[in-house]
């Protein structure tokens, strides 16, 4: 698969802080790439360098496979709403397309198609401020896509969304991917990234600590993680000698086993104490990998 964007050794400092410290990665066409990391890890700064808001202090950002102006190839959905409250929906969409160099009847038709699909056509002449938050988010999303960008960059698209809109975004991203679009998804929600991303880039303190295809990354951590769903009090699981680290949430446990530990012993230990509904030896979850990579002290902040 061809590469759309290549980021090489970019560095950005603010005063004494190295917000981004030699980050390199590539984004391949037709994938969803998750840019993961804690708040303040350097995700947004990296995105801002890609979108051209900041210039990197050093390093390069290279766009490949098209002669289009780099800025016009990006569809950017910022973390918070970025719309003029006073403008009307359709007018605003056309403005967003126009500043990406797209104008004319085709854009109007495209806007109409999107608005109808998102059930906003009736509100095309309403002011943005008259819309509900979810609808504003939809307008923003249409504005991100209207100029048919090569790379769709979404910064925490799920933050502040209700479950219905979250599903809407998820389905849309999947659909866009199926159409062959490329998506860079910045998030700190590992479960969400795990569900959607083909590739991940894990950033911590301005550096890439892990990157690659999601499956490959998970496999590289070996199949020594137990996923157990149960009924009963599973608190004792974390104290078993075979268990190096445990994540226990409600009635599900994810146990990283010590080197050479036999999962069968864990199963035996549960007998008579828990009703097992699922017992699986698999690769660690992204969340588990994330914690291992960036330190257990971050557990609280990602929950």
Stretch that binds other proteins, among 18-26, 84-92, 175-183, 195-203 (CB under 8 A): 84-92
Question: Binding other proteins by CB under 8 A: which of 17, 58, 85, 132?
Answer: 85
Which residue's structure tokens are 């496999």?
A: 219
User: Smaller CB distance to other proteins: residue 98 or 112?
Assistant: 98
User: Smaller CB distance to other proteins: residue 149 or 206?
Assistant: 149
User: Smaller CB distance to other proteins: residue 85 or 195?
Assistant: 85
For other proteins, how many residues bind (rule: CB under 8 A)? 27
Radius of gyration of the chain (CA): 22
CB of 45 closer than 8 Å to CB of 20? yes
CA distance 41 to 288: 18
Which residue's structure tokens are 């390069």?
A: 60
Task: Give the contact letters, 104-143, x = binds to other proteins (CB under 8 A), - = no.
Answer: ---------------------------------------x
Contacts of 109 (CB under 8 A, 6+ apart): none
* 28 belongs to the binding site for other proteins (CB under 8 A): no
CB of 281 closer than 8 Å to CB of 222? no
Compute the least distance from the CB of residue 186 to other proteins, in Å.
13
Compute the least distance from the CB of residue 33 to other proteins, in Å.
18
Beta strands in 53-118 (DSSP E): 58-63, 74-77
CA distance 129 to 132: 8
User: Smaller CB distance to other proteins: residue 95 or 118?
Assistant: 95
Q: What are phi and psi of 23, to 5 degrees?
A: -85, 135
CA distance 218 to 293: 12
* 87 belongs to the binding site for other proteins (CB under 8 A): yes
Question: Binding other proteins by CB under 8 A: which of 65, 101, 222, 241?
Answer: 101
The residues binding other proteins (CB under 8 A) are 48, 51-54, 71-72, 74, 76, 78-87, 95-96, 98-101, 103, 143
């Amino acid at each position: 698969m061809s590469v759309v964007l290549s980021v090489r050794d970019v560095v950005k400092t603010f005063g004494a802080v190295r917000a981004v410290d030699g980050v390199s990665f590539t984004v391949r066409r037709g994938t969803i790439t998750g840019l993961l990391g804690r708040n303040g890890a350097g995700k947004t700064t990296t995105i801002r360098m890609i979108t051209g808001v900041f210039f990197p202090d050093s390093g390069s950002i290279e766009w490949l496979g098209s002669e289009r102006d780099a800025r016009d190839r990006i569809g950017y959905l910022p973390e918070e709403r970025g719309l003029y409250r006073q403008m009307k929906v359709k007018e605003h969409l056309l403005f967003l397309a126009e500043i990406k160099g797209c104008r004319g009847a085709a854009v109007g038709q495209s806007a109409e198609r999107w608005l109808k699909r998102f059930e906003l056509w009736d509100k095309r002449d309403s002011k943005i401020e008259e819309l509900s938050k979810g609808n504003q988010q939809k307008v923003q999303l249409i504005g991100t896509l209207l100029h048919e960008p090569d790379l769709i960059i979404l910064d925490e698209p799920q933050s502040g969304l209700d479950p219905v809109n979250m599903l809407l975004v998820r389905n849309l991203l999947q659909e866009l991917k199926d159409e062959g679009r490329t998506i860079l998804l910045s998030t700190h929600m590992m479960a969400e990234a795990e569900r959607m991303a083909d590739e991940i880039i894990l950033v911590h303190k301005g550096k890439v600590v892990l990157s690659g295809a999601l499956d490959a990354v998970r496999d590289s951590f070996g199949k020594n993680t137990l996923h157990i769903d149960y009924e009963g009090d599973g608190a004792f699981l974390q104290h078993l000698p075979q268990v190096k680290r445990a994540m226990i949430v409600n009635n599900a446990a994810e146990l990283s086993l010590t080197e050479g530990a036999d999962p069968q012993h864990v199963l035996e230990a549960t007998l008579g104490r828990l009703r097992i509904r699922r017992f699986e030896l698999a690769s660690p979850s992204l969340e588990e990998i994330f914690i291992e990579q960036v330190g257990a002290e971050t557990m609280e902040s990602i929950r």
